[in-house]
Amino acid sequence: MSITVTTWSLEQTAPTDLRPAAEPEGDVRIVRAEVPSPEFSRFLYSAVGGDIQWIDRLSLSYEQWREQLTRPGVETWVAYEKGTPAGYVELDAQDDGVVEIVYFGLIPAFRGRRIGGHLLSYGTARAWDLADRWPERTPTERVWLHTCSLDGEHAMDNYTRRGFKLFKTETSEQPEQPTPGPWPGA
């Protein structure tokens, strides 16, 4: 059985495009995971994407995860609420001053608590100043991402509220997948 999936690509072309969300109340911190850890990244990936059909990285070997995470300009920023991982944003510096927000999301238990807008704002700001931490990378001139109809119901609204503009829409048929999660709904 297949399902129709719509994928939207969005971008910012100047740091002034970013419209930051308010910081959530309480003890929410965002910290860069500076030591590349395939185990931790796979945990974040499956915990955030387990209920929304994130499956593209599940078949990667430990070495493939490590290779991805150790490339210059790849960064993982993790949101914590009271010391517990709540979600993450993964940045990937590409050629010609382009930074892709490759993955972004919250673990289901942390959705709807105003953490997502703050994390996206913070991650986007880090995409814009990424060359400050990676002098071998070209200064950022464009930040882009894609989302799809399988993502959370508030994803597109969050992106447009942060100042991302739609530049491409694609529709495809994909095989329906079981929820991969660490367990259903994780």
The CATH number covering residue 18 comes to: 3.40.630.30
Instruction: Establish if 62 belongs to a structural domain.
Output: yes
Torsion angles phi and psi, residue 104, rounded to 5: -155, 135
| pLDDT tens-place string over residues 95-146 | 999 999 999 999 999 998 999 999 999 999 999 999 999 999 999 999 999 9
pLDDT at 176: 75
Please answer whether residues 126 and 76 qualify as being in contact, where contact means their C-beta atoms are separated by less than 8 angstroms. Answer: no
Instruction: Establish if 182 belongs to a structural domain.
Output: no
Domain that holds residue 10: 2-175
pTM of the shown model: 0.92
User: For a pLDDT cut of 70, what percent of the chain falls above it?
Assistant: 95
Instruction: Establish if 28 belongs to a structural domain.
Output: yes
Instruction: Establish if 94 belongs to a structural domain.
Output: yes
Look at the chain and report how many structural domains it folds into: 1
Parallel/antiparallel/unpaired status of strands 84-93 and 98-106: antiparallel
Instruction: Establish if 184 belongs to a structural domain.
Output: no
